[in-house]
Amino acid sequence: MTRHTTRTVLGTGALLLTSSLVLTGCGSGFSEGDSGSTDSGALTSSDDGLTLLIGSSGDAETAAVQSAVDAWSKDSGTKVSLQVASDLSQELSQGFAAGEPADLFYLSTDAIAGFAANGSLKAYGDELSNKDDFYPSLVENFTIDDTFYCAPKDFSTLALVINSQMWADAGLTDADLPKSWDDLAAVAAKLTTPEHVGLAFGAEYQRIGAFMAEAGGGLVKDGAAIADDQANVDALEYVKSHLVDGTFAYAKDVGAGWGGEALGKGAAAMVIEGNWITGGMSNDYADVAYTVAELPAGPSGQGTLQFTNCWGMAADSPNQTAALDLVEYLTSADSQLAFSEAFGPMPSIKSAADAWTSANPELAPFLAGADYAQFPPNQDGAADVVSDFNAQLESLRTADPAQILGSVQSNLEAVVK
């Protein structure tokens, strides 16, 4: 997967929020963007081959997608050209601006609204034969103005990942796995030593937002901005209190670029990360044993965040009929399970859940999170709001949570219609 300090993942949906796109015909910053038309007409059909543009996490993902499209191409007789982007956001925007977009492409949740608004996307979600098999929250992720645009290709959630040796050394057992915020605080305190912190995570909404969800908050609910809700204040106050007492820490403050590195280097006994951590641990810290547990419930119950991409389809594609057939093939249970085995994402369809859990029993807490996960806001311009929020979270240890969230509320109201 693509590695950044904020753990942006383009290839696995595991992605997690990407930086804002410069979209042709769309607004920027916190201002209201132009509205566009929804392309919901009949699918085009031709003898043209298809092009796929992906943001790959590495050789394993590229090879897996290539193998899948080769198999479909052989069976269908339609040629497919796979293109691996070095900068997916930029290359998508350039393709649309030039009037030569790929037929299908990885599309992130924070990019869909802008591209939908300027008419770049074909809304084909309701044409999918497997539409009802996708997790409802993933469908909602790619629904704009009540229109389901594109098939979620896979997804990831956040969970608690624990260094097994440090857990045992602290005298903890499975019975001590935290079920509440109080439990989490207690085990973090037991696990904190002069050599490592109890719990570490990224200094960003894409991790801290899980606490907001557990408190009953979030950023958007029922189409309205709720950033300054008291539940969110309570969540940030909880996090701040343990940053101050030293049992929680940001990954960067323990010398790590992200949670997986903090866990692997022994700088943290527990981290909050997504299931993409499995690849990082096996590649870089294969000798570190770890356990995955669901995140503990907060005052409002269980909560986590989910991250996903979809298979976007160009409104200008001359062969949308073939593109739809390919998407259905790529999102089938067999294809998604093969992708999961190759590079780690969880299948976006419910019918593959049992097979995935059987193959990955130790990772089942990640899939369990699908039942209660929130997703980051997908309105056009929301990525800019989240970026500003993240900048403010950097100083949460000494800042006023209510003041931070008040600022986020004002920014978010400008982009949430």
Q: Give residue limits of the domains in the chain.
A: 50-156+307-374, 157-305+378-412
Task: Classify burial at 233, counting beta carbons within 10 Å of its beta carbon; exposed 0-12, middle 13-18, buried 19 or more.
Answer: buried
Give 282's Cβ-side CA count (13 Å radius): 9
Class of domain 157-305+378-412: alpha beta
Torsion sign over Cα 217, 219, 223, 224: positive
Rounded distance between C-alpha atoms, residue 383 and residue 30, angstroms: 9
- Give the tens place of pLDDT for each residue, 262-295: 999 999 999 999 998 988 898 899 999 999 999 9
| Mean pLDDT, rounded, of the chain | 90
**How far apart, in whole angstroms, are the C-alpha atoms of residue 364 and residue 371?**
12
> How far apart are the two ends of the chain, measured CA to CA in Å?
33
Percentage of residues in the chain having pLDDT higher than 90? 84
Assess whether pLDDT exceeds 90 at residue 49: yes
157-305+378-412 shares the fold of 50-156+307-374: yes
Give the pair of three-digit tokens for residue 113. 């609204």
Question: Out of 9-13, 42-46, 286-290, which region has the weakest mean confidence (pLDDT)?
Answer: 9-13
Task: Tell me which DSSP letter residue 330 carries.
Answer: H
pLDDT digits (tens, 9 = 90+) for 175-230: 999 999 999 999 999 999 999 999 999 999 999 999 999 999 999 998 899 999 99
Identity of the amino acid at 175: A
382-400 confidence digits (pLDDT tens): 999 999 999 999 999 999 9
Residue with tokens 């052989």: 74
Task: Please name the residues in contact with 74: beta carbons below 8 A apart, sequence gap of 6 or more.
Answer: none
Give me the pLDDT at residue 13, please: 36
Q: What is the largest CA-CA distance in the chain?
A: 66
Between 1.10.10.10, 3.40.50.1370, 3.40.630.30, 3.40.190.10, what CATH number should domain 50-156+307-374 receive? 3.40.190.10
- Residue 407, Cβ density class (10 Å: 0-12 exposed, 13-18 middle, ≥19 buried): middle
Per the CB < 8 A criterion, the answer to whether 90 and 288 are in contact is: no
